[in-house]
Amino acid sequence: MDSHSTISLLYEVVGKKEFQEGLIDLIFKKAKTSKKSKNCKYIQIPKGETEIKYCGFHMCPNLKAVIIPNSVTKINDSAFYKCENLLSVTIPNKLEHIWCNAFSECIRLTSITLSNSVTCIGELAFYNCESLISINIPESVTYIGSSAFAGCLMLTSPITIPKGVTTIKYHAFNKCYRLPSIDIPEGVTSLHHYSFNNCRSLTSITIPSTITDIENLEFAFAYCVGLRKITIPEKFKEHIGDIFLGVDLSNVLKIYT
């Protein structure tokens, strides 16, 4: 991305007045936290950097926008943890790994678009991003960690789990209150405890026949009180009360396959 494009994007994100006052605070030479970076509002990572370091910009209270070049393939643990005013992140198209807590508690981040190169979304990667409205999970993803999207209270974009994912970890989408739908493909073999706990806006769910791990499946959809239709393999019929703990199943259409 050239400097003109960078300036145009930041201008759009933060508005004219704030941009003129702040400009781009830092063209970062080393992606690690410093006293100066803690006061930055807008950061452009330079071309050639291949990763954002562990805790690189964690708890930078003034940070509003970040532009990450296509050379970056990895965003490490807690890189942007608790950047509470972060509004916009430009994700590179060669990014492969988003590690644990990378954007955890970025409470004003509203949307993010992941490229088709991403394979791993780590534990707590977007935990408590409570303003996050939309995010895509590309087909390239093969791993979604525990609590990766837990506490994304405002998430209203439908979610399709990629076909390469075989396990949906504990609390992965816990308390995504406004999640309207989730598509879990055949090929997923394990849903862990509370993986979709308290997803109150879900109205229907289909559990794939490839699920084999009944012990972990218990409580997977606990307190999904909006459910009105459940499609579930016959082999789990006797466990349905545990899988859907807290759901009034008398008001739910149950289809056994």
* Cα angle, residue 176 at apex, residues 149 and 248 outer, rounded to 5°: 135
Q: Which residues contact 211 (CB under 8 A, 6 or more apart)?
A: 188, 189, 190, 191, 217, 233, 236
Do 132 and 236 share a domain, yes or no? no
Per DSSP, what are the bridge partners of residue 112?
Answer: 135
- Taking alpha carbons only, the member of 110, 36, 117, 34 closest to residue 75 is 117
Q: Please give the single-letter amino acid code of residue 257.
A: T
Q: First vs last Cα of the chain: how many Å apart?
A: 51
Cα distances (angstroms) measured from residue 203 to each of 28, 180, 224: 46, 7, 8
Do 210 and 253 share a domain, yes or no? yes
CATH no. for residue 41?
3.80.10.10
Task: Locate 100 and state its tokens.
Answer: 């644990």
Do 29 and 118 share a domain, yes or no? yes
pLDDT at 62: 87
SS3 255: strand
pLDDT at 20: 37
Cα distances (angstroms) measured from residue 243 to each of 85, 118, 227, 239, 240: 37, 30, 13, 6, 5
Q: In what order do the strands lie in the sheet with 51-52?
A: 51-52, 74-75, 97-98, 120-121, 143-144, 167-168, 190-191
- Report if residue 52 sits inside a domain: yes
Do 104 and 222 share a domain, yes or no? no
Q: Please give the single-letter amino acid code of residue 18.
A: E
Rounded average pLDDT per 10-residue block, the chain, 257 residues: 41 42 38 52 85 88 88 93 90 92 95 91 96 93 96 95 94 97 94 95 96 87 97 93 95 92
Domain carrying residue 218:
187-257
Do 193 and 153 share a domain, yes or no? no
Do 216 and 257 share a domain, yes or no? yes
Do 19 and 133 share a domain, yes or no? yes
DSSP string, 109-135: --EE---TT--EE-TTTTTT-TT--EE
Count the domains in the chain: 2
